[in-house]
Structure 1
């Protein structure tokens, strides 16, 4: 048993110092009871995200068609609206409903996890009395210039000043500490532990202010721990690009949209070295969920894979190879800066929505002021609340009372603490995983139910690690590391943001949080994305915390200098945020391109039940969650 497990973990959850419940910067040597810690979910560590028990009843309903839940307690609670799902979309739906119909409208939000926000999850790591904030999922207000008027107004209502990020984000942090983008090759996959100061892929372009490499592509290929054949093929990829594709200029846009990236590697560039193909397969990390073997060339370029530099893409678009309607490329090649991060990610959006509807939950009147606010979770479900947020409550049945086309109420049944309850509402917004809705709404029209059952999500894992110091990271010069042979394909210093009294780590001697990103997918090259997701999800959920801890131990120990890093000495806490159903999958060009059309069928209103969540638009951005909530509320009778 490792030292960190022996010292800090009991049944997979960290027993935290009392300072975690005090104002940031204060310290307390007392150790609080783990049951008390459980009342403040952001401070919990160990296995989080879709934590143990959060999906038990949902799986019983979907997989086993369970219908006998014992005696159902019919509560004497009636609402104007019940929202199923407490993520950004569900919370936005509740907020919009009150705006439209009045702040006196009674609303119940049911959430199956022990925390709200969905994937917009807040992680707190307390190291020697210093509380470090980070995110456990949804991280950024991405490309706000593309937001709808509805989403922009909501951000404004919540006191989010988008201009503030220009001064809050420390653009000089990486240069000041000489932190760059690099690649870590592990011994298990590449025969030796080796760090090369080159990212190979272009994924690190998402980190504003970071330098990618001082190595030439020739030097980078030569330093990779590959065979001579592999080095030659890697260089061929690094020097390749759109110019290597022998098709007429006018046909190039259609060609890259309809042809496989792996076919380009194998057939156009002649790459067949297994180690090189493994590097390429893992080089887009969490952008699409599956390996790059199932992406078109265009999708691969958008994801920052090996072999297509941003400058090459900009030249391609500037040369009028793509018209305005075809320039759908991501922030990677655009002008919008990727800086709109709160220290706890988009959890701040979720927290402000809760604060607006349940004012007594914590202090602070805008997004900056609540950053250091410790929410009182006991306030979420008070009898006196107009809006109640009920955690650990898995909905198992939603059914109109009478004819769906003529009904004035809906009965909603849910499980809390293994007991069944039922409440009544005038309307329901289903802001949960859309694939589950046909199992929860039994009389849903057949075509709509069939469409929803096709809407899958991508398994994702965001692991945050609290470190007592980052001297070893400084020594190695790591701002972000691509790790093609590891469970976590990406490791990086959390975004350098100072806001609302919260200060980012200042020196290598100070505590910090690092992020480790994993996008688990199947091992068989060419398997359809949905099958790769299924295999990755199965593996992810069947690992225990000690399995993850061992993987993280091997990863960091192999990557960081042994003279300045010791896992047992330097790692204070680990939070593994597992999302079995993470990003919405809208299909890719070569597989399931019709999923977006199916989402439109699936989100049709049904009587007094409407559909929200990112699934209903097969896109995983925060503004999509907000816009779908707005639509769902306005579709209610």
Structure 2
């Protein structure tokens, strides 16, 4: 069975916000006990209040004051996400000499939002989940640079063919997809299971949708018409490129508005915004229903967003997944940079080896990776055009502030942070950097005692239209030689839940991200835990699940600044013809280059690597680097 990214867009859970009294709380401060080993920390993780405090102070005008440098490095990298780690690796590889470098990051762990979550069951079994960046997507569309870097750090894509069990769910009878309608949103609570290959007519009448909406949904899925009959293909595509999927359903198809509520969060996980702000053209590329009778052709429309283009061109099987998601890539880079902290060779050790965090920042080491530390000022020592070094002022989580000097600097932090770090940039570049917002995300992993309720229900995923969560499902069925995914229903398992914190209403994605980030920052662990328990009890309770008995651990990963923003119609009229803001935003100056996923406006690991490659090429003109992609998404 071939599983694609589009399957996940259309088949993952959309979780619940049903009210539930009396949920037993798990401690939100469990992270304190696991400070020495961040992957095992539970409770609220990711971009915590403590991690964000130095940058928020910087935003609010509390700038760092450069002092006398106390150390010198050949390179300082600001940001230990995949782009920053990749830049450090490539710089050392291409420098042609021994170099000393410092990498700083405000988070408790390396990898940015490529985050590893670990759980230990009462009987001592280790379960590994992903707390952020999910999978390596569509490697057939990558640049040579992305392929080369992964090869150089020991990531063998062919290994995933053996690790990922494509038929795991089918062999266990988990071929259904549960849909939970909550009473608060739909008037009554209703749980139904839609089976693979079924027609809408088989299950739509069991939903609490209004009668006309049920009739419309049956037609939309089972017998879609040509809703723009009389227009040419080009005219149809142009119309869809300026129409949201919501308006396509209501205004073009003439369907009941209740369908827009039913589909509202379907596109969030892939496009970073709901169907109110995703074009019908992107929805078509993403596999949403309604376009089968419209004869839109096989040629890729240029107006598609970068992710829309990637989906249209045909995603590879969606199997390139470490048990900890793309944290596996971050670990491969750290193993190459600081081998004493993460020993081993080959793919297997990337999964099972325990990182020794005490070895990441050792005095005298060529590469020092310093966590819980923010750069608060980056300025050339003298005129940027002639300077021999850059002063980088850092502030630790504990408040210690100091300055180091660097021969060169890579800024692999968020683009919006950069204007707060330096006053050396022209106004046009500052404006372009501030244009790049981040999509706020919430990812949770829940350790269940077993998955017997899923087995009784015959499904591995749950939707909850209109609910709090966008996505939830049993974790990816990935097993290595020594790390084994669940096999029997009595085995413990992780359930993954995701929410893109945008609120809908038809505003631009940038506006929705700003509002959603503010809401996310107000949410406490107890509120999020309540939503987790409400969903799982509502969907699995009829099959014997009891949340107080069956939940053994919860880790919530908060990414107020999550995925990079992607250009999309109708909000970005300059897409795709340009000029694109990123081309101005990512321009290096003096001894400083910019590498981050924002600089590519494309929220994927391969784009982060491309931007790291470009940044290193700017600092080391003699470098012999593989070709990288210069524009967002495939062309």
Partners of 1:323 and 1:618 in 2: how far apart?
Answer: 19
Secondary structure in structure 1 of the residue aligned to 2:71: strand
Instruction: Label 1:473 to 1:388 Cα distance change in 2 as closer, same or farther (>3 A).
Output: same
Deviation of the 1:516 alpha carbon: 0.5
1:276-295 matches, within 5 Å, as: 276-295=259-278
2:149 to 146, 154, 157: 154
Aligned partners of 1:408 and 1:426 also within 8 Å: yes
Deviation of the 1:321 alpha carbon: 5.4
Instruction: Label 1:261 to 1:370 Cα distance change in 2 as closer, same or farther (>3 A).
Output: closer
Deviation of the 1:254 alpha carbon: 2.7
1:386 correspondence with 2:373: no
Partners of 2:362 and 2:225 in 1: how far apart?
Answer: 60
1:600 to 577, 580, 583: 583
Deviation of the 1:514 alpha carbon: 0.8
Partners of 2:143 and 2:315 in 1: how far apart?
Answer: 19
Deviations 1:405-445 (A, max 9, x none): 11110000111011211110011000010111111111112
Deviation of the 1:191 alpha carbon: 2.5
Partners of 2:558 and 2:301 in 1: how far apart?
Answer: 40
Residue of structure 1 equivalent to 2:213? 230
Residue of structure 1 equivalent to 2:390? 410
Partners of 2:57 and 2:458 in 1: how far apart?
Answer: 48
2:41 to 41, 44, 61: 44
1:88 correspondence with 2:85: no
Residue of structure 2 equivalent to 1:195? 191
Partners of 1:323 and 1:538 in 2: how far apart?
Answer: 35
Partners of 1:342 and 1:219 in 2: how far apart?
Answer: 36
Residue of structure 2 equivalent to 1:53? 50
Which structure 2 segments of 5+ residues have no match?
Answer: 1-20, 621-635
Aligned partners of 1:409 and 1:424 also within 8 Å: yes
4+ residue segments displaced more than 3 Å: 1-4, 72-75, 239-242, 303-308, 319-333, 593-596
Aligned partners of 1:478 and 1:492 also within 8 Å: no
Partners of 1:225 and 1:125 in 2: how far apart?
Answer: 38
Number of residue pairs the alignment of both structures matches: 591
Secondary structure in structure 1 of the residue aligned to 2:196: coil
1:55-454 matches, within 5 Å, as: 55-62=52-59, 64-67=60-63, 74=68, 76-102=70-96, 104-128=98-122, 129-179=124-174, 180-198=176-194, 213-239=196-222, 241=224, 243-246=226-229, 247-273=231-257, 275-308=258-291, 312=292, 316=295, 319-320=297-298, 322=300, 329-331=309-311, 334=314, 336-416=316-396, 417-454=398-435
Aligned partners of 1:2 and 1:568 also within 8 Å: no
Partners of 2:392 and 2:64 in 1: how far apart?
Answer: 15
Instruction: Label 1:82 to 1:500 Cα distance change in 2 as closer, same or farther (>3 A).
Output: farther
Secondary structure in structure 2 of the residue aligned to 1:604: coil
Instruction: Label 1:284 to 1:324 Cα distance change in 2 as closer, same or farther (>3 A).
Output: closer
Partners of 1:333 and 1:243 in 2: how far apart?
Answer: 23
Higher RCO (C-alpha under 8 Å, 6+ residues apart): 2
Deviation of the 1:187 alpha carbon: 2.2
Deviating more after overlay: 530-539 vs 402-411: 530-539
Deviation of the 1:560 alpha carbon: 0.8
Partners of 1:584 and 1:54 in 2: how far apart?
Answer: 19
What TM-score, normalized to structure 2? 0.88
Instruction: Label 1:245 to 1:636 Cα distance change in 2 as closer, same or farther (>3 A).
Output: same
Deviation of the 1:622 alpha carbon: 0.5
Deviating more after overlay: 492-501 vs 618-627: 492-501
Residue of structure 2 equivalent to 1:459? 440
Residue of structure 2 equivalent to 1:557? 537
Deviation of the 1:609 alpha carbon: 0.7
1:536 correspondence with 2:513: no
Deviation of the 1:515 alpha carbon: 0.7
Which structure 1 segments of 5+ residues have no match?
Answer: 16-33, 199-211
Deviation of the 1:536 alpha carbon: 1.2
Partners of 1:285 and 1:433 in 2: how far apart?
Answer: 21
Partners of 1:45 and 1:134 in 2: how far apart?
Answer: 12
**RMSD after superposition:** 2.3
Aligned partners of 2:448 and 2:492 also within 8 Å: yes
What TM-score, normalized to structure 1? 0.88
